[in-house]
Amino acid sequence: MKQIIFLGAVLAVLVGCKRETPVTPKATATNQTYTVRGVVQAIVPSLTKATIHHQAIPGYMMEMTMDFPVQNTNELTGISPGDQITFTLVVGEDDDWIEHIHRVGHVGETLTMNASTFHSMILELKPGDHLPDYELLAEDGKPIHFSDFHGCALAFTFFFTRCPLPDYCPRMNKNFAATQKLLTANPSAATNWQLLCISFDPDFDQPEMLRNYAGLYRGNSADHWLFAAAATNTLAELAPRLDLMVMREGASISHNLRTVVLDPNGIIFRQFDGNDWTPQQLADAVLQAAHLSAP
């Protein structure tokens, strides 16, 4: 459960689980390639992914530290943390990867994220643990709490609207859109469930921004699906309890991926790390959790 992003180093049954806010979808760009320069922070043993602190990509992405899938693992042969590299970032509609990786220098030891020391001192929650209550700002501008959804199975994930890579926040939201369709397709299935996407960029992701952004993924179907933002102080308490790593790098944010399912009593039923889970897996977990009755 320890996927850490390095830097140079988380609501009333039925009606209470339902809000509707019609919005208008927006367009998105696909199939782009960018030449990038950066410093390797870490490489997974399988050589299928590298964590890189990269320079700004003009017109696309600010300087930040990200995990990048590697198209050809042979290209990482001889590459080590601390190496300066150039590479091509390929961004498709549903995924992204890097290729044409070349070592151009070495800068020595990399710096791990300072927040990791803080995280290690906080008790991380696990399935079976109760999630403490926190306040969020919903897309309609009203405060909400996790406790507002007591009696519902609640699935929530984290994102920020300026996240550009399809493997990160866009994939989480697309998976939630597919999960919503799966859960609403069976009229005999439980209806005490709620989906919640939480931004960790509250200054930029104000309610109007959240409403507009939500339309890209759910169109006019806001059934059982809500967007909200977590204040900085809330995130500081909530993130380490879920091993969610969020690090601001200038105007941008480096982060890992966490998706959590709570049962109707606010107990953690399951946590999905990374982006390899499927909408069917999440839908199954939500329905299983929904059948656990609240007192």
Q: What is the pLDDT of residues 177-191, one digit of tens each?
A: 999 999 999 888 899
Where in the chain are the domains?
14-26+116-290, 32-106
| pLDDT value of position 250 | 65
CATH number of the 14-26+116-290 domain: 3.40.30.10
- Residue 123 is given by DSSP the state P
Residue 19, pLDDT above cutoff 90: no
Q: What is the band of 55 on the pLDDT scale with cuts at 50, 70, 90?
A: confident
The sign of the torsion formed by the CA atoms of 52, 55, 57, 60 equals positive
Q: How much is the mean pLDDT over the chain? A: 83
Q: Of 111 and 70, which is predicted with more confidence?
A: 70
Q: Of 287 and 9, which is predicted with more confidence?
A: 287
Share of residues in the chain with pLDDT > 90 (%): 55
Q: What is the band of 220 on the pLDDT scale with cuts at 50, 70, 90?
A: confident
| pLDDT value of position 4 | 35
Contact 82, 38 (CB under 8 A): no
For the stretch 277-289, pLDDT in tens is 999 999 999 999 9
Q: What is the band of 210 on the pLDDT scale with cuts at 50, 70, 90?
A: very high
CATH number of the 32-106 domain: 2.40.50.320
Same fold across 14-26+116-290 and 32-106: no
Q: Which phi and psi (to 5°) does residue 210 adopt?
A: -60, -40
Q: Which residues touch 264 (CB under 8 Å, ≥6 apart)?
A: 13, 150, 151, 152, 153, 192, 289, 290, 292, 293, 294
Residue identified by tokens 């059982």 is: 224
Which pTM was predicted? Answer: 0.68
Residues in the chain: 295
For the stretch 111-123, pLDDT in tens is 443 344 334 445 7
Residue 21, pLDDT above cutoff 70: no
